[in-house]
Chain A
Amino acid sequence: METVAKYEGDLNLKATELRLGLPGVEDFEKQKTPIVRNNKRALVETGDDCGSNNNSDISDARDRDLETAPAAKKQVVGWPPVRSYRKNSFQSKKTEVETSGMYVKVSMDGAPYLRKIDLKIYKGYPELLKALMAMFKFTIGQYSESEGYNGSEYVPTYEDKDGDWMLVGDVPWEMFISSCKRLRIMKGSEAKGLALGL
């Protein structure tokens, strides 16, 4: 499901936070109390608003603006006149496009063609694995840290940002979806090497 990130105020503080997960993943909340949410936003923005509070500065500000027209203008509340709903829809969309790990190819040893899935729609490994099993009609055994998917006919692996082939499930989910470039369902016999940590 699509998630919509709600950013607080125009400063977009969340986007500059350092984190491993994709932006907006944990921000999805049902709009049960939109009033509270909007309250925060209004306060933050009026706090930031230094451009339009002082009436006598209007013509001064305008002259200044004309002189410094090429320079970036300080932000003003409510300008440009685009509704928050619309602004927020695209703030989240832009960061979605910029991050990697959204649609990834999935190949399975022995299958004639590849599939593509959107990693963002899964909440965690169990869901992803269930979907893969349904898609390719195979089964895998239980995952364990020490032994991987020992005993399975097939083993899910992925290629990460560094180009290495990793076992699906070793790293936290957030880290996985931001670093996964493609998936490969390997035959169990071939995967023995991975599980043993070679």
Chain B
Amino acid sequence: MSEEQHASSSSSSFPEEVLDNILHFLPTRHHRNSFSLVCKTWYRADTLTRHELFIGNCYSITPQRAIQRFGNIKSLVLKGKPRFADFNLIPVNWGAHFKPWSTCMTSAYPWLEKISLKRMLVTDSDLLLVSNELLGFKELVLDFCEGFGTTGLAAIATNCRQLRVLDLIENAVLEDASLEQLVARSPSLKKLRLNQHVPIEQLWRLMVRAPQLTDLGTGCFVSADPMVQVDVQRDLPLAFAACKSLVSLSGFSVIVPEYLCTIYPVCANLISLNFSYTTINTEQLKSFIRHCHKLQKLWVLDIIGDEGLQAVGANCKDLRELRVFPLDVREDAEALVSEEGLLAISEGCRKLQSILYFCQRMTNAAVVAMSRNCLELKVFRLCILGRHLPDHLTGEPMDDGFGAIVMNCKKLTRLAVSGLLTDKAFSYIGKYGKSLRTLSVAFAGDSDRGLRYVLEECPKLEKLEIRDSPFGDAALISGLHHYYNMRFVWMSSCKLSREGCKEVARRMPQLVLEVIVDPLVEDTGEAVEKLYMYRSLGGRRSDAPKFVSIL
């Protein structure tokens, strides 16, 4: 018997093999985290057998410490900048460099198979390192990352012979030649999502070479060259039909409506469709969506209108996730979708779990209806584009609508609010949002009371992002008991002062408080314009730029 087994038989009656077996069945990292807290033996078992390393904030821990804890990682998920960086609220060069992680991980985990990065700064040399050091590398997902170009991607395409997934969500372009090389060399390639600049002729060639594709992101859906060698109307439907496993389509950044019908052969199998870069109109959508009965995920533009959404509600009974994006991103643009579209979706798609809905106007009644019809909702994100807009029929704040959502949707974990909201809305969130993990607030609330409701009463809250709301130091202090349970708090254009933030920093040594100043403004005085606060075992980070002051 080994040393470990002697120890385990005294502290617990489970031999290692049994522990490993149990661990195998634990579905998520949250379960594993709980498991590892029981005793040293169980902690060690987790250390040795955990295969996926999930780091929700790259600054919460140093890479060196991470590799000390876990010895055998096959999959790395790493997230960097806070989400509000997407909206230009964080100056460039704030951080989230992949480099310290790439050097550390490639040497500590040579059998690493998957890397999934979100909002990180990734360079070509990082990708080159990955492609050279990780022999069994299978999946690369780069979500909203930047800093790399075609060189790095070409290295991945050339060197990673076992690549199954290449998912570049809203990222750079892969050069034509490498793309075809990649597909030719990768018989296991299942997911290819590029979403940019892949003209139809090349798309056809790629599909013909890779009929095993399950996920395809297309890019341009037009012919680049009138002297096409492929007869689009005839050959493309055949190519699509040959991809019998195709269940997910995205891209279509430029689409000629006549080519839409070439996709019809796959509609019946489609589970996921991203048309959010496609300016097809209501009629085109209606004739298309009739075929998509299995659709579970749909991303569209609001130009399809309430009528288009009614067609979705009528045809896509299995819909789980819907995102409706605005074509015209202005506060006072023409209203293309409204409460009617939301109502139609809520009545037709009863299995809905996640919704992101941009609109120019909304009513409490429609939101309440959704809260009653869609009881499976986990994610409810409503963005009324005009700031502080009330219910456009009653003139009332949107408090009751959002209140109904938190009250009726017991599985709700993520909420984003908008429109005119008083502290009452937050009292509802505090009272009913007991499962809430992520909350996004903008231009809402009356006083500190609003934020206090949330911090004092939402026990599961992990991620909080607030902008332009009248919450100050007193509200910030009210959350001290909870901040170590959270991944981060973002507050910008609120009423925070340096003194208040320093107080929090003093009392919470393992919390990092970053005050981000506008690089152009010399003296900001007492007011804190942007606060990014997160728990960390790594302490103050060494790569903070000048415009970040860590309290």
Chain A residues within 8 Å of B, Cβ to Cβ: 1-2, 30-32, 34-35, 38-39, 41-43, 45-47, 52-56, 58-59, 62, 65-66, 69, 72-73, 76-87, 89-90, 93, 115-118, 121, 131, 134-135
Determine if A78 and B220 form an interchain contact, defined as CB atoms under 8 angstroms apart: no
Determine if B387 and A78 form an interchain contact, defined as CB atoms under 8 angstroms apart: no
Given A35-B147, A38-B92, A52-B468, A82 contacting B326 (CB threshold 8 A): yes
Pairs of residues from A and B, 7 with the lowest C-beta to C-beta distance, nearest first = A78-B87, A52-B493, A134-B227, A117-B226, A38-B92, A78-B89, A83-B86
Show 5 A/B contacts (Cβ-Cβ < 8 Å), sorted by A: A58-B469, A69-B388, A69-B389, A79-B387, A135-B226
B146 at the interface (CB under 8 A from A): yes
B224 at the interface (CB under 8 A from A): yes
Given A34-B147, A65-B388, A121 contacting B87 (CB threshold 8 A): no
B470 at the interface (CB under 8 A from A): yes
Determine if B170 and A35 form an interchain contact, defined as CB atoms under 8 angstroms apart: no
Scoring B146, B199, B493 by chain A CB atoms within 10 A of each residue's CB, the highest score goes to: B493
Determine if A46 and B227 form an interchain contact, defined as CB atoms under 8 angstroms apart: no
Q: Which residues of B contact A84 (CB under 8 A)?
A: 86, 88
Determine if A46 and B520 form an interchain contact, defined as CB atoms under 8 angstroms apart: yes
Q: Which residues of B contact A41 (CB under 8 A)?
A: 88
Which one, B86, B220, B331, B469, contacts A73 given CB within 8 A? B331
Which one, A32, A62, A78, A90, contacts B327 given CB within 8 A? A90
Chain B nearest Cβ from A22, distance in angstroms: 15
Which one, B88, B225, B493, contacts A42 given CB within 8 A? B88
Which one, A69, A80, A89, A131, contacts B225 given CB within 8 A? A131
Determine if A80 and B329 form an interchain contact, defined as CB atoms under 8 angstroms apart: yes
Q: B76-90 CB contact bits vs A (8 Å, 1 = yes)?
A: 000000001011110
Q: Which residues of B contact A66 (CB under 8 A)?
A: 388
Q: Which residues of B contact A62 (CB under 8 A)?
A: 388, 443, 470
**In the bound complex, how far is the Cα of B529 from the Cα of A64, in angstroms?**
21
Determine if A80 and B383 form an interchain contact, defined as CB atoms under 8 angstroms apart: yes
Determine if B468 and A81 form an interchain contact, defined as CB atoms under 8 angstroms apart: no
**In the bound complex, how far is the Cα of B147 from the Cα of A66, in angstroms?**
42
B467 at the interface (CB under 8 A from A): yes
Q: Which residues of A contact B222 (CB under 8 A)?
A: 2, 118
Determine if B279 and A93 form an interchain contact, defined as CB atoms under 8 angstroms apart: yes
Q: Which residues of B contact A46 (CB under 8 A)?
A: 91, 518-520
Chain A nearest Cβ from B290, distance in angstroms: 26
Determine if B226 and A115 form an interchain contact, defined as CB atoms under 8 angstroms apart: yes
B149 at the interface (CB under 8 A from A): yes
Determine if B87 and A81 form an interchain contact, defined as CB atoms under 8 angstroms apart: yes
Determine if B220 and A1 form an interchain contact, defined as CB atoms under 8 angstroms apart: yes
**In the bound complex, how far is the Cα of B228 from the Cα of A117, in angstroms?**
11
Interface residues of B in 131-152 (CB under 8 A from A): 144, 146-147, 149-150
Which one, B92, B224, B253, B387, contacts A35 given CB within 8 A? B92
Determine if B331 and A80 form an interchain contact, defined as CB atoms under 8 angstroms apart: yes
Q: B188-232 CB contact bits vs A (8 Å, 1 = yes)?
A: 000000000101000000000000000000001011111100000
**In the bound complex, how far is the Cα of B389 from the Cα of A121, in angstroms?**
43
Determine if A135 and B227 form an interchain contact, defined as CB atoms under 8 angstroms apart: yes
Determine if B88 and A2 form an interchain contact, defined as CB atoms under 8 angstroms apart: no
